[in-house]
Structure 1
Amino acid sequence: MIYLDNSATTKPFQEVVETYAKVASTYFGNPSSLHSLGMQSEGLIGESRNRIAQILGIKSNEIIFTSGGTEGNNIAIKGTARAKQSRGKHLITTQVEHASADEAFLQLEREGFDVTYLPVDQEGRVSVEQVKNAIRPDTILISMIHVNNETGTILPIEEIGELLKSYPQTLFHVDHVQGVTKVPLDLKKSRIDLCTFSAHKFHGLKGNGFLFVREGLRIDALFHGGTQESRLRAGTENVAGIVAMAKALRMSFEQDPKRKELEQLRHYLITHLKKLDGVVLNSPEQMAAPHIVNFSIPGVKPEVIVQSLTAKEIYVSTKSACSSKASEPSRVLLAMGISEERANSGIRVSFSFETTVAELDQLITGLKGIIPELLEVVNT
């Protein structure tokens, strides 16, 4: 099996799965309970919070545990907008956000907020100047994805954060789900107020994530009940998932020296894709994450490519996994000015630190066998 869909989800580390099983079976007490089993569970949550904070260079009280990226984005975006609306109702984002952020902004528009969706250039990037020109006196939030989940394009988060030092009343949220462990980001230096993470993107388990909320910042909760997670995320914590997530994050960061190898793999794949007739590259070659390559075979349905490769036990994807079953063209590629035909045939290949050149060679060989036959059908 050759798994090249790591942007959709990564395979959990075996040690992470074992940690989850041990905690789930041994430390099963409700962390809100006052007895010793509950206190043990609460202690494990605190220890995990401290470890994550140490890895990211933030404070432990700035971490809110969630169920993943979608919930984190919704809490950050809706929670900030609703909490700060007395000061203003203008929000800024981009046209290439993950569906969980994009849909959150559409909901806020229905609630009466004014949202500016910044257009992107042909590489899927916005400029600092665009952001500066869009800011108004009533702008309360700027929210952007760091690494685009479909193309791997890196947005200039650090530079935008530097700009926002001059706008202290405007909060800055970053979706770092695709970038964490692959593309470095200093939360403090980038003047980020809120930042979203998801465990299953760095070899943790699905259903776990966390949201960085800068100390002193107050935003509204989405749902209510208990006092967990500083009253920002009510509900009994997933203790085993949290402990496993902290371990997965540590183990993933320990693979940082392999980042150069990912860059080399990306260059290798792009070089060979450009030699294939009918293939057009959608991802930028520069200023992009080292683990994502997006390309199109215009005129060919992407699901046909995916299923043909699946038959060879090679697994890739079309667009974001959250939107891959929808038949419409990728809105991210359309926003980049790519034609509807290309946007309707995008394929995403995404690596992990375990991906090898030999695996990419098999992908390339598989494509060489599939593409000519499909193009012949299209052209007849």
Structure 2
Amino acid sequence: MIYFDNSATTQPDSEVIRTFSAASASFFANPSSLHGLGIEADRLLERSRMQVAELAGMRDGTVVFTSGGTEANNQALFGLARANAGHGKKILMSSVEHPSVLNTADRLRCEGFDVVTVAAGPDGVLDLSDLEEKLTADTIVVSVMHVNNETGAVQPLEQAGRLIRQASPRAVFHSDIVQSFGKLPIPAGPDAISLSAHKFHGLKGSGALILKKNIHILPYLFGGGQQGGLRSGTVPVAHAAALAKAMRLAHESMDRTPYREWRDELIRFFGNFEKIRVIGGTDTAPHILSVAVRGIRGEVAVNALQEHGIYVSTSSACSSRSRRESHVLQAMKLREDFRHGVIRLSFGRQNKLEEITRFKEVFAGFMETIERV
């Protein structure tokens, strides 16, 4: 099996699984309990919280453990918008955000917030001039993802952050870094970031929203007031410990992965085919490569590769079973005859160079087949 769908989910690292199992067995008590077992669980939870904050580059920040990236994005947007509504009602976000951001924005519109979309160019990268034009004094939240989950486009967060500080000093800058953590350094600029463990060889069901010091949000889950009242519900200590371990392993391996070399080799390979267009150009995240094959549906290529034990996806796993056109490809204005034939390859730590070679052999055979049709 050759698994090139790591942007959908990754295979959990064995060390992460061991951490989760050990914490589940030894620190099973409720961390809110006052007895000794509860205190021990709470100490592990706090150690995990400190490690997550440090690895995210926000040592003095606030960590809210969540069920994953979708919840973290929801909590960020609802919490930040409602907490800052007294300063304005305007929210900006890019046109290529994840559905967990765009759909949350739709709900905020129903609450009376003015949600404005910032354009992306043909390469899928945020149009900074459009951002600058739309920033106003009453802008309270800006949300721009770091790496796009469909194309690998890397957004200029540092430049965006500077524009936001100049034009909208009251605005809080949020970034979904679900696809970039452990592959690229976290840029300076965002005040709040969302991440999800299963995108970097951690476990499904665990993620975090991390806020810089003095950034305030309002909760949208209510109950016993856990996690400083920001997310009520018994905190899963084993998930928190496993998240911290997965983050540490991803951070330590970041400079040792050959993803960029593999991506560049495949870009050269795809350049041999007239019917193929690389999406997003060559300056994308090293671990994601999306291409479009003219005149076919992406599912045809996915199924043909799967027959040889090679697993890729057509687009985001969150929408790949939907028949709706990708909003990201629409925003990039990809030509109609290419738009339906998109496949995405995404690498993880378990992949090897020989798998790239095997993929090229199989894919070349697939292209010969469709050329004869």
One-letter code aligned to 1:355 = N
Shift of 1:139: 1.0
Aligned to 1:276, which of 269, 273, 276?
Answer: 273
Q: Sequence identity of aligned pairs in percent?
A: 38
Shift of 1:61: 4.6
Shift of 1:18: 1.2
Matched with 1:250 is 248
Contact 1:228 1:236 (C-alpha < 8 Å) held by counterparts: yes
CA distance in structure 2 between the partners assigned to 1:205 and 1:158 by the alignment: 30
How high is the TM-score relative to the length of structure 1?
0.94
Q: Check if 1:85 corresponds to 2:85.
A: yes
Contact 2:57 2:186 (C-alpha < 8 Å) held by counterparts: no
Matched with 1:332 is 328
One-letter code aligned to 1:212 = I
5+ residue gaps, structure 2: none
Deviation string 1:85-138 (CA, Å, 9 cap, x unpaired) is 222111111110011111111111222221111111110112332211101222
Q: Which moved more, 1:125-134 or 1:168-177?
A: 125-134
Change beyond 3 A, Cα 1:108–1:340? farther
Q: Which moved more, 1:70-79 or 1:355-364?
A: 355-364
Matched with 2:344 is 348
One-letter code aligned to 2:328 = V
In structure 1, the residue corresponding to 2:86 is in which secondary structure? coil
Matched with 2:198 is 200
Aligned to 2:261, which of 254, 264, 270?
Answer: 264
CA distance in structure 1 between the partners assigned to 2:276 and 2:357 by the alignment: 16
Matched with 1:170 is 171
CA distance in structure 1 between the partners assigned to 2:60 and 2:32 by the alignment: 18
Shift of 1:60: 5.1
Contact 2:184 2:254 (C-alpha < 8 Å) held by counterparts: no
Q: How does 1:1-380 map to 2 (within 5 A)?
A: 1-59=1-59, 61-166=61-166, 167-186=168-187, 189-190=188-189, 192-259=190-257, 261-286=258-283, 288-377=284-373
One-letter code aligned to 2:290 = N
One-letter code aligned to 2:232 = A
CA distance in structure 2 between the partners assigned to 1:149 and 1:354 by the alignment: 19
Shift of 1:375: 4.4
Contact 1:128 1:160 (C-alpha < 8 Å) held by counterparts: yes
Contact 2:66 2:209 (C-alpha < 8 Å) held by counterparts: yes
Deviation string 1:321-344 (CA, Å, 9 cap, x unpaired) is 111110122210111010233222
One-letter code aligned to 1:342 = F
In structure 2, the residue corresponding to 1:255 is in which secondary structure? helix
CA distance in structure 1 between the partners assigned to 2:236 and 2:307 by the alignment: 37
Deviation string 1:263-296 (CA, Å, 9 cap, x unpaired) is 111100111011134222113202x110000001
Shift of 1:372: 2.9
5+ residue gaps, structure 1: none
In structure 1, the residue corresponding to 2:87 is in which secondary structure? coil
